[in-house]
Chains A and B, each alone.
Chain A
């Protein structure tokens, strides 16, 4: 063989190995421990009885619902149920359950577990109804009964037709718990030693420090790649970033605006972002003067400079909002044209509304950082100076978080900052919860603008009752956003981008649009 052909052969060989090797490197690998750093510990691991995000991050990997979200989307797909059927009146939902599914304790998953999971939440005299079940009343109160048809079939009857129900079933409160395990451990025992059907099984909890999960080998679907996941509590944001840099952590949550650059600029780390399913807003109390006047509310919208607020108070880690829905959600209306920052026009409107010299009002803000608004005070100060330009004199007011919620739900504010993180990936969970007149009951209002529009209400109820046709529902929500834009009960401010950091060798992890942490497809290069 000539030297030349040898060279060619060598090159071809090198190329093949290179390409093949590269392909191999992209192939997910089994094994390894992933250490996930987060700001605080879980509170409890009983899916029906949690409200905090940290508990949910663990729960979503240990449990599953009848349906679950598709990867990277808020659409649902079969999980513990393989098929479902809705009656014509939209009230009776029949689910065919997956056979051959095992719980982590080895027991079989059957219709009894589904019935148990729901009944212990809905029946106050159920022996296992121990807890607050905060989400039940708010997301499942339309459930009238849950019955077993046979070993692998259940029937859920609702009190009213409710299309978003299927999305609610993908959220954590309705994740199926093992009846046998709960009876054996008791509710107290189950809270700290949970048994589900998910891709990871719970093994240990060092309270305040770590929660350890291991791959569940008898999982009904594709097994997880990771041997072990350790959720590790590191309260300080900066320490978490340092832990990632120092190889102690593999994946971290809660990257604040001040830490993002430090992760982005490090070649050994990856910055993961996802437009958040959230909204930060300024609600104007429609029950009080002058905010009962549509012109005034529009003027306030025109006076606020969102771009500057996002640059200043969010350090660029958010998108300006023009609708109550985040743009990642189906049904988002991109045709709505935002009011834009136009102080001159705002003054004109105020004059037209009968306030040529402006007025004075209170603006309330949260004293603590929230995921949808990391610095309420800064946002409030920016709004204050924006409004001063148009002659509106603002006094800033704040309370501790509990009192703040209590008082705003009770309509004591003129204007208040607040926000929302979506629960189930359905537009109803934003628009109906936050702006429908049904939710303006003083003392427990989700709609703290106390905006009561019959036009909007009719659209939203129609959307709830439109079964099985998402396009039609999306059309209704688009119309709803038009109505809201015209009436301007809020100044929609921001949609915060969720940011996480990981080591370079962590692959396959994608932040879910709901903000959820699903680790089944995550793998580490060995």
Chain B
């Protein structure tokens, strides 16, 4: 198992190397001069040229790629061309926001989606089943933008019990926290005022972001549970006189593998950032940062963010694979 993990981790290196080359090549192919985009209309040709020089845009492609690779092995993604702040610093601000939001959304998706799927399978072809399936269908087809606005309108404007956007209330000074894991750090250190505010702020974006995975998990849970229940050994167990309830509990564990796969895939996907949710709820995460980076041709940001996301995706996949062996003792690495 240990060797397997090491091997999988080593695989990450060529993956990231190839990705870095592809991304670096692609961002260089996008038309648009980053210096011009940054400095806008009110600028002289001399200032533009100086900015191009400072950004290293005048060097040949391979030289720039080589310089970039040397920096990257030292975990230095360089400076944002626009804000001139180190990409790793910005990453340390954005990533915690994304991790907290994604985790919250996935917990919500797993609990609600899992429960809906189990109820559907348990009470197949009853009113409960139909309700669950309808909700799941609704969740999958709902545009996040619209759902986000409806949630804000109802909970933040009409009922006025939750905030509209952001991660913390404006009155709270987040500089008392050491990391950007507002929710987790305030919980651990017992800073309850911050914790309450952080929880209130994460609910609506969490629900908006978690709704599609919730629906997917609900459908997957239902179908894989029904699959397992139709297996011969299940029929045998029922024939031997086991109650449906007891059989069902065993079935859940056996149906968990495809659900874990879906869960892992969705988790990885959300880690890549959730541009729509982040935009609607002013959540300062990876997605909006990456999108702005692309629009502004901010190469170091695009590369830093994409490689981090790729790395996280691979790690989440690895964790998913390892979970299989916990769920099914027959799977060994």
Which stretch in A20-28, A59-67, A234-242, A495-503 binds the other chain?
A: A234-242
Whether A248 and B45, one on each chain, are in contact in the complex, defined by CB atoms closer than 8 angstroms, is no
CA distance A208 to B36 in the complex (A): 23
Q: Which residues of chain B are near A33, meaning CB under 8 Å?
A: 170-171
Whether B281 and A208, one on each chain, are in contact in the complex, defined by CB atoms closer than 8 angstroms, is no
Whether A402 and B164, one on each chain, are in contact in the complex, defined by CB atoms closer than 8 angstroms, is no
Which stretch in A134-142, A319-327, A505-513 binds the other chain?
A: A134-142
Q: Which residues of chain B are near A234, meaning CB under 8 Å?
A: 164-166, 282
Interface residues of B, count at CB 8 A: 54
**In-complex Cβ contact of A242 among B94, B156, B173, B297 (8 A):** B156
- In the complex, residue of chain B having the shortest beta-carbon distance to the beta carbon of A401: B37
Q: Which residues of chain B are near A35, meaning CB under 8 Å?
A: 170
Is B163 positioned at the interface, with any CB of A under 8 Å from its CB? yes
Whether B170 and A210, one on each chain, are in contact in the complex, defined by CB atoms closer than 8 angstroms, is yes
Is A192 positioned at the interface, with any CB of B under 8 Å from its CB? yes
A119-136 interface (Cβ within 8 A of B): 131-136
Whether A400 and B31, one on each chain, are in contact in the complex, defined by CB atoms closer than 8 angstroms, is yes
Q: Which residues of chain B are near A52, meaning CB under 8 Å?
A: 40
**In-complex Cβ contact of A444 among B48, B83, B165, B170 (8 A):** B48
CA distance A151 to B249 in the complex (A): 84
Q: Which residues of chain B are near A209, meaning CB under 8 Å?
A: 166-168, 282, 284
CB distance from A467 to the nearest CB of B (A): 25
- In the complex, residue of chain A having the shortest beta-carbon distance to the beta carbon of B292: A40
Interface contacts (Cβ under 8 Å), in number, total 150
Q: Which residues of chain A are near B279, meaning CB under 8 Å?
A: 235-236
Q: A239 and B36 in contact (CB under 8 A), knowing A207-B90, A444-B45? A: no
Name the interface size band of chain A. 35 or more
**In-complex Cβ contact of B51 among A132, A212, A238, A406 (8 A):** A132
Is B253 positioned at the interface, with any CB of A under 8 Å from its CB? no
**In-complex Cβ contact of B282 among A43, A239, A245, A446 (8 A):** A239
- In the complex, residue of chain A having the shortest beta-carbon distance to the beta carbon of B174: A206
**In-complex Cβ contact of B94 among A208, A400, A405 (8 A):** A208
CA distance A209 to B152 in the complex (A): 18
- In the complex, residue of chain A having the shortest beta-carbon distance to the beta carbon of B45: A444
A32-52 interface (Cβ within 8 A of B): 33, 35, 40, 43-44, 51-52
Is A441 positioned at the interface, with any CB of B under 8 Å from its CB? yes
Is A191 positioned at the interface, with any CB of B under 8 Å from its CB? yes
**In-complex Cβ contact of A192 among B37, B85, B153, B281 (8 A):** B85
Whether B170 and A242, one on each chain, are in contact in the complex, defined by CB atoms closer than 8 angstroms, is no
Is B237 positioned at the interface, with any CB of A under 8 Å from its CB? no
**In-complex Cβ contact of A208 among B46, B165, B284 (8 A):** B284
CB distance from B204 to the nearest CB of A (A): 11
Whether A248 and B164, one on each chain, are in contact in the complex, defined by CB atoms closer than 8 angstroms, is yes
Q: A402 and B174 in contact (CB under 8 A), knowing A246-B156, A248-B165, A443-B45? A: no
Q: A402 and B44 in contact (CB under 8 A), knowing A44-B84, A239-B280, A242-B164? A: no
Q: A209-B282, A233-B282, A401-B37 are in contact. List 9 more A-B contacts (CB 8 A).
A: A33-B171, A131-B84, A137-B47, A138-B43, A234-B164, A239-B149, A239-B281, A243-B164, A399-B31
Task: List 15 A-B residue pairs with CB atoms under 8 Å apart, sorted by A's residue number.
Answer: A51-B38, A137-B44, A139-B42, A141-B44, A191-B84, A234-B165, A234-B166, A239-B281, A242-B149, A247-B160, A248-B164, A400-B31, A403-B32, A403-B33, A441-B45
